[in-house]
Amino acid sequence: MCQIYSVNVDHHFNWPRPKLEGLLVNPSPEEFLALDFETACGSRASACSVGYARFEQGKLAEVGETLIDPGLAAEQWDWFNISIHGIEPEDVAGAPSFIEAWSQIQNTFDGLPIVAHNAGFDMSVVRAELCRANVRLQSPIRYACSATLSRAAWPDLLSVSLGVVTDELGIELNHHEAKSDAIASGKVMVEASRVLGSSTVTDALAKAGRTWGQINDDLSWNTGYKSSDLNAKDFAPEEGGKFDVRHPFFGKTVVFTGTLESMTRREAFGTLAEVGSIPGNSVTTKTNLLVVGEQDLEKLAAGETMSSKMKKAAKLRAEGQDIELIGEAEFRSRI
């Protein structure tokens, strides 16, 4: 088995040159690898830590973690991220790059699908880092979200944030320590599957009306959801959560119309919730921003050039409501 870089070993460990391989598409459904990433700043391409936990037959079999050097200057790190996970620029001096760490994880756990809590975030880190390194996968990566199955298993919970679910289940958690988060997400997935009457994650996903998500070799992805399954109310920011009140989207209600090229609607909802914003399904008097993506003209009424959400926003603006319309590029620059 390949050695995984640990936060407890010498940062000057001599890593082999990375050999990037994709995860296999047909692994045993009884085994999975839970992952959690922490980032140095708001960019997904700034991983500074990853924790992993391998589960076999529903039991924790192996754990580990590694710091990651995101290759950023100290001033590019965000103090808010540091306050969340406690990792500082000097801590990652000599640590492996994302590609080195990712290669070691894949070479060690080749063939395992991935589980993460709010997997849209962690999988977007993988995509963003591989894109930054201009690396394509050799084969697709399958993944599933333990938060999604939590909603199906415990529909009465007001929130399915990792802290809330683990507290409800009595699972130990040192939140935002990558290894602890990975272990917890795996345990949540196992317990949610049990509550749903399933012996495998695949079966549990099916009972919840979902499928495995997948990152393709060209880094496009399929989330395993239909757009009709999405409900912005499921992505409300965590009550009492720690948010940066200076963030331009903090406390704002944001609605989307059209297709985003850089992320899925689910990822966009999750990203907003992480910064304390309130995703919305439709334009109302409570809406602060409407993000306008690519419009499918075939879905618009004959002769129309604006979606119903755009028309509603324009009407409310004319009536004096302060609703800002922005494009995807502006949304990404602010988020």
Per-residue pLDDT tens listing for the chain (335 residues)? 233 333 332 333 333 333 333 333 333 346 999 999 999 998 889 999 999 999 999 999 999 999 999 999 999 999 989 999 999 999 999 999 999 999 999 888 887 999 999 888 899 899 989 999 999 887 789 999 998 899 899 988 878 889 999 999 999 999 999 999 999 999 999 999 999 999 899 999 988 888 898 888 888 777 776 555 678 887 888 777 778 888 888 999 999 888 777 777 877 888 888 888 989 888 999 999 998 887 654 455 445 667 888 889 889 989 999 998 888 878 887 87
Q: Around Cβ 22, how many Cβ atoms within 10 Å?
A: 16
Collapsing DSSP states into helix, strand and coil, what is residue 59? strand
How far CA 79 is from CA of 42, 152, 268, 334, in Å, comes to: 10, 35, 23, 17
Distances (CA, A) of 278 to 124, 235, 249: 20, 8, 9
Q: Are 88 and 29 in contact (CB under 8 A)?
A: no
DSSP state of 200: S
pTM for this model (two decimals): 0.67
> 255-285: b or e for each residue (b if 16 or more CB lie within 10 Å)?
bbbbebeebbbbbbbbbbbbbbbbbbeebee
Q: CA 265 to CA 98: how far, in whole Å?
A: 26
For the chain, domains (ranges, CATH) are 31-225 (3.30.420.10), 232-334 (3.40.50.10190)
d(CA 40, CA 122): 14
CB 270 within 8 A of CB 310: no
- Write the CA distances from 41 to 80, 99, 315, integer angstroms: 8, 18, 37
Check residue 58 and give left, alpha or beta (phi > 0: left; psi -120 to 50: alpha).
left
| DSSP-based three-state secondary structure for 185 | helix
3-state class (DSSP) for residue 218: coil
